[in-house]
Amino acid sequence: MTGFAPTSVVVRLDAVDKTYQSGAIAVQALRAITLEIPADRFSVVIGASGSGKTTLLNLIGCIDRPNRGAIEVCGENVATLTDNALTDFRARNVGFIFQNFSLVPVLSAYENVEYPLLLVGMPLVERRRRTLAMLEAVGLAAQARQRPNELSGGQKQRIAIARALVKEPQIVLADEPTANLDSATGASIIELMRRVQAESRTSFIFATHDPQVMAHADEIFAIRDGELTEHRTVAPV
Amino acid sequence: MNLLFKIAWRNIVRNRRRSLMTASAIGAGALAMLLFAGYTNFIFTGLETGYVQRDGHLTVFRSGYFLYGAGNAAAYGIDDYLGVMRLITEDPALQPLIAVISPTQALVGIAANYSADTAASRTFIGVGLMPSDRDRMRRWDEYGTADVYPPDARLSDADPNRGLIGTGLARILGLCSALGLTNCPPAPAGSPAVPAAGSAAAVNSDITALARRELGDAASAAAAHSTLMPQIDLLAATVGGAPNVVSLNVSGALAIGAKELDDAYIIMHLALAQQLVYGRNEQEVTAIMVQLHRTEQLAAARARLNALFQQHHLDLEVRDFAELTPYYGQVIRLFSGIFLFISLVMGMIVLFAVVNTMTMNVMERTNEIGTIRAMGVRRVRIRLQFIVEGVLIGAIGATIGAILAILIGDLTNHFGFTWVPPGNTAPIPLRLVVLGRPWLIVEAWLGLVLVAAIAALIPANRAARLAVVDALRHV
């Protein structure tokens, strides 16, 4: 945790580089990224396709490792953690919302939402209470027994949001969460996320180029060609 | 753990066509293995039953007989064999194990028939035994697969002059029509077997005269009784080396699979065999056969017999039926080798079927693997997830195969098919002993499930090693 100031910051990146190997060619996705993302905010990472938004989210979400630099997430220097420790860290602290929903197709809506709680070993009664409450919060209590293939795109994304939030993580990462939805559904999803974020005081970090999402942002981080070009606080803390 | 099985089962159902094809391949493997194992089991138990019915589980010899006695059986006789049998039957450890104990005398000599229309002789291999003991021994059927033998009325404890001969020997000695044998034409006219009044008649009268002198009144009484049975003369050397002759009333013929034995075999009453071998000397036997209630008691009974003989300073050795009949071990090894080969082939088919299916499952679910890894599922759980799926498919296939094998085995047994095994001349019922050996089913089932688990390990490891970001990027 060297080099970080003790402030209410949920994510700190210090001179982070990330290079991918694409065949014989090395592609530098991120270059010397240094940033701090404040806690309990609705932060948005914007940029064109291929600018490095998803790579940045992957590093923050601890599903990828930097080639260089330090990353602190929720006060933990995640670069030093073993694979199992990193996995357990994600299970406790990080929720993901994906562009293509990524629900487990053989599990019902209820079971999909309950899944993260099983991973942290929560007792059955508490698990059931939280799962039902979360389904209620996203307005899908009636669809609890349905499988993902029986749900609409918007309903799937609501289930994905419920799944990401049910364990009450410190961070929720959402990569283009509205890209596969029509604008009306997208707007309702953003509204929902904004509401649950405000209620849960969870830090939301989005990667998007959807103007609807940007319109709700508290913090905006702009990336171009792997470099952080701008950090703007839109709404005061 | 519950979630692992739930996800595994639902994925199997979700890909039901693919799962069914894989389970079918495993089921076919289980079916082939179990049916062949049922068949080999039948062969093994059939052979064992045959040998145990004939010779018992254990045979007590005088030391050295097993290796050297065939050249001079009489020289290796067990004296006071009745005392030895009493010692065995009265032993409290052996008593509950023994079903039948019976003395037997092996002998070799020349069998001759010089009646009015025949002049033939042949060296014979004979065995003398107690007819009632033979009947009791032939009832042994531990596995429920043997033919039911009624008491053989052709031999009798009360008539020591009766005996049975091989069908080949009956043919050679010109007894086919006298014994009512079919497929046994008489020797053509002018053949050496038909006497031409002269030298053969002279030999005939010599042997017959010797027989009358040796047997005296007993022979006359037996001859009177056997007016309906053909009679042959048996010539052998006594234990002292002198020639000896007895008459045997042939009460029937036996079909024996091996021609060389069929052409030479004689079963007779123990008393007649002893009379031929020992004459008026002390009566001995070459062996004491011990038939147990169950084969699994063999090792314990053998150990106890050895201890008993050692304790009483008796110069005796014990051999089991497998040692006495090397053919039994050869058949076991041959069929076990074929079974191993079939099992390996089936195992390979199962291995490739499961690897193929699970690889497709991993490829199709790469994005799902990335998602749940991101959510906090460890690599080991991903690995376990796909192994559980492989195991479940293996278990379903093996169960289907086992059920089919039991049904087909029962149907086959029900229809009463017959076959002629090597060494037999008559067809016997063909049975597939599948359900009768539950451990066989359990072992085959576990073996196939284990192969499925090993096969699933390969794609499961691939799934577990996937980088989360690569898996999430997979479309």
Residue pLDDT, tens place only, A99-147 = 888 999 999 999 999 999 999 999 999 999 999 999 998 889 999 999 9
Q: Is B132 exposed, middle or buried (0-12, 13-18, 19+ CB in 10 A)?
A: middle
Shared domain check, B289 and B205:
yes
Q: In this complex, do B376 and A90 lie within 8 Å of one another by their Cβ atoms?
A: yes
The whole domain housing B143 covers: 64-314
In a domain? residue A3: no
CB B266, CB B166: distance < 8 Å: yes
Integer Cα distance of B357 and B454 in angstroms = 13
- ipTM reported for the complex, 2 dp: 0.91
Same domain, B132 and B277: yes
Same domain, B341 and B299: no
Q: In whole angstroms, what is the distance from residue B389 CA to residue A106 CA?
A: 13
Chain A residues 31-60 with a CB less than 8 Å from chain B: 58
For residue A10, tell me if it sits in a domain.
no
Domain assignment present for A23: no
Cβ pairs A/B, distance under 8 A: 66
Give how far A149 is from chain B: nearest CA, Å: 12
Say if B320 falls within a structural domain.
no
Domain count, chain B: 2
B98, B159: one domain: yes
Q: Tell me, letter by letter, the H, E, C secondary structure of chain A.
A: CCCCCCCCEEEEEEEEEEEEEECCEEEEEEEEEEEEEECCCEEEEECCCCCCHHHHHHHHCCCCCCCEEEEEECCEEHHHCCHHHHHHHHHHHEEEECCCCCCCCCCCHHHHHHHHHHHCCCCHHHHHHHHHHHHHHCCCHHHCCCCHHHCCHHHHHHHHHHHHHCCCCCEEEEECCCCCCCHHHHHHHHHHHHHHHHHHCCEEEEEECCHHHHHCCCEEEEEECCEEEEEEECCCC
CA-nearest residue to B15 within chain A is A106
A118 in reach of chain B (CB within 8 A): yes
CB contact under 8 A, B378 and A104: no
The answer on B281 and B258 residing in a single domain is yes
Residues B256 and B279 in one domain: yes
CA-nearest residue to B371 within chain A is A102
Decide if pLDDT at A185 tops 90: no
A153-178 pLDDT, tens digit each: 889 998 999 999 899 899 999 998 88
| pLDDT of B199 | 47
Task: Answer whether residue A124 is part of any domain.
Answer: yes
Assigned domain for B321 exists: no
Total domain count, chain A? 1
* A49: in domain: yes
Query: Of B265, B471, B457, whose CA–CA distance to B367 is shortest?
Result: B471
CA distance B377 to chain A (A): 7
- Of B75, B140, B10, nearest to B281 by C-alpha is B75
Distances in Å between the alpha carbon of B98 and those of B29, B39, B291, B300?
41, 29, 6, 11
Regarding whether B444 and B334 lie in a shared domain, the answer is: yes
Q: Is B368 on the interface with A (CB under 8 A)?
A: yes
B310 and B335 part of one domain: no
B40 and B144 both lie in a single domain: no
Q: Are residues B180 and B273 in the same domain?
A: yes
CA–CA gap between residue B209 and residue B205 (Å, rounded): 6
Of B11, B367, B467, the CB nearest to A102: B367
Residue A159 belongs to domain with CATH number: 3.40.50.300
**Is the CB of A63 less than 8 angstroms away from the CB of B11?**
no
Does B374 sit within 8 Å of A105, measured CB to CB?
A: no
> For residue B14, which residues of chain A lie inside 8 Å, CB to CB?
105-106
- Chain B residues 5-44 with CB within 8 Å of chain A: 6-7, 10-11, 14
**Cβ distance of B10 and A107 shorter than 8 Å:** yes
Encode chain B (475 residues) as per-residue pLDDT tens digits: 688 999 999 999 999 999 999 999 999 999 999 999 988 888 888 888 888 998 999 999 998 888 887 777 767 889 889 999 999 999 999 999 999 999 999 989 999 988 767 778 899 999 999 999 999 999 998 887 666 678 888 999 999 999 999 999 998 888 888 888 877 776 666 665 555 544 444 455 555 555 555 545 444 444 445 557 888 999 998 877 788 999 999 999 988 878 888 899 999 999 999 999 888 777 899 999 999 999 999 999 999 999 999 999 999 999 999 998 888 899 899 999 999 999 999 999 999 999 999 999 999 999 999 999 999 999 999 999 999 999 999 999 999 999 999 999 999 888 878 777 666 666 677 888 888 778 889 999 999 999 999 999 999 999 999 999 999 987 7
Domain that holds residue A157: 39-66+76-233
